[in-house]
């Protein structure tokens, strides 16, 4: 069986797919690729089925060696890319000969880069998904140097584009559209205005669970504790510090702090590409 051999992982590389559905009532979250759009593009380029598992590299640094000839695509945060020391292009169909090594540098902008392989990463699924949920500790082990990831049989279809023209991912500033609620009534009227007019910076205490933001405090209008309730990705949960946390793919299934607003699902891929230091503006 063909395989991807992990040579180096950078700060964090995980196996991800579209996520785990139907187990939320057991306390199991969805997980899945944080930037679902870039992940889906990589699979589409290779004519993979939509849910084929791929690698999600955080801040680049991923190096893999092809065991057997492989066809791959790299999407998401733009990284300097090399195959056996020669420059290669993002968002293209790349053919790796047996033994060829693909190397990602540091992304110039954005945070998460996807490496999909034709046939998909074929590790055993856990509860119907090959996504690693870093919060719940579910799914495939996090790959380390030396890990051999089996590659599945190639799909019936063939890639029919060589290059996907996509706008650059990430940047120093990003604007995300939100819908107020479900708990905006727990905050002062000024809090929502503050959220919609001030910039919030992504801090380094951010991961696949959520982006912890720093900026003007969002004040509550009522005391007391909110009984824990279900959360969705994109929720802007406000802990007692008053600075919001933007929940991403591995967010807890339930949370005990009020959510002032939720980022629209179409803007979540951009939220997942906001690296520490990015200024986020929220708009209706």
Partner 1 sequence: MRVLTCADSGVLVEVADLTEVIALGAALEAAPVPGVADVVPAARTVLLRLTPGADPGAVAAAVREVPLAPAGERAEGETVVLPVVYDGEDLADVAGATGLTPRGVVEAHTAATWTVAFCGFAPGFGYLVCDDERLHVPRRAESRTRVPAGSVALAGEFTGVYPRSSPGGWQLLGRTEEKIWDLHRDPPGLLRPGVRVRFEEVR
Residue numbers at the binding site for partner 1 (CB under 8 A): 21-28, 30, 126-127, 136-138, 178-179, 181-183, 227-235, 252-254, 259, 261-265
CA 3/CA 175 separation, integer angstroms: 39
Q: How far is the CB of 248 from partner 1 (least distance, A)?
A: 13
CB 150 within 8 A of CB 12: no
CB of 137 to partner 1, least distance (A): 7
Alpha helices for 140-242 (secondary structure H):
189-197
**Considering the complex, what minimum distance in angstroms separates the CB of residue 262 from partner 1?**
4
Query: Distance between CA atoms of 252 and 255, rounded to whole angstroms?
Result: 7
Q: Is 126 exposed, middle or buried (0-12, 13-18, 19+ CB in 10 A)?
A: middle
Residue 26 or 156 with smaller CB distance to partner 1: 26
d(CA 178, CA 282): 6
The nearer residue to partner 1, 182 or 215, going by C-beta atoms, is 182
- N-to-C CA span, the chain: 50
Residue linked to tokens 């997980």: 31
- Between residues 150 and 182, which has the closer beta carbon with respect to partner 1? 182
When the beta carbons of 7 and 134 are compared against partner 1, the nearer one is 134
Q: Which is nearer to partner 1, 76 or 252 (CB)?
A: 252
Q: Tokens at residue 202, please?
A: 């992504």
Q: Shortest gap between Cβ of 222 and partner 1 (angstroms)?
A: 15
| 30 versus 118: smaller Cβ distance to partner 1 | 30
53 or 79: whose CB is closer to partner 1? 53
Whether 247 and 235 have beta carbons less than 8 Å apart is answered as yes
Residue 8's alpha-carbon distances to 122, 158, 275, in angstroms, are 19, 29, 21
Task: Report the distance separating Cα 147 and Cα 198, nearest Å.
Answer: 44
CB of 224 vs partner 1, minimal distance in Å:
13
Instruction: Report in angstroms how near the CB of residue 192 gets to partner 1 at its nearest.
Output: 14
What minimum distance in Å lies between the beta carbon of 110 and partner 1?
22
Give the Cα separation of 127 and 21 in Å (integer).
9
| β-pairing verdict for 62-67 and 279-283 | unpaired
């Amino acid at each position: 069986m063909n395989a991807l051999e992990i040579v180096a992982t950078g700060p964090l590389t995980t196996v991800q797919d579209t996520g785990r559905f139907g187990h939320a009532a057991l306390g199991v979250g969805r997980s899945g690729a944080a930037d679902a759009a870039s992940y889906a593009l990589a699979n589409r380029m290779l004519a993979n089925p939509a849910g084929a598992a791929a690698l999600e590299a955080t801040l680049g640094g991923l190096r893999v060696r092809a065991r057997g000839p492989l066809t791959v695509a790299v999407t998401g945060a733009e990284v300097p890319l090399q195959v056996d020391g020669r420059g290669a292009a993002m968002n293209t169909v790349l053919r790796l000969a047996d033994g060829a090594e693909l190397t990602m540098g540091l992304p110039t902008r954005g945070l998460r880069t996807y490496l999909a392989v034709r046939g998909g990463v074929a590790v055993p699924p856990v509860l119907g998904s090959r996504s690693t949920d870093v919060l719940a500790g579910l799914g495939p082990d996090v790959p380390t140097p030396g890990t051999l990831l089996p590659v599945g049989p190639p799909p019936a279809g063939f890639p029919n584009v060589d290059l996907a023209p996509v706008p650059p991912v990430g940047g120093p500033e990003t604007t995300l559209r939100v819908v107020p609620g479900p708990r905006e009534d727990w905050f002062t009227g000024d809090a929502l205005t503050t959220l919609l007019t001030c910039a919030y910076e992504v801090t380094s205490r951010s991961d696949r669970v959520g982006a912890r933001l720093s900026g003007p405090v969002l004040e509550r209008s009522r005391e007391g504790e909110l009984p824990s309730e279900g959360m969705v990705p994109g929720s802007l949960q406000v802990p007692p510090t008053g600075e919001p946390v933007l929940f991403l793919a591995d967010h807890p299934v339930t949370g005990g702090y009020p959510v002032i607003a939720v980022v629209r699902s179409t803007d979540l891929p951009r939220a997942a590409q906001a690296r520490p230091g990015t200024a986020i503006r929220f708009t209706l």
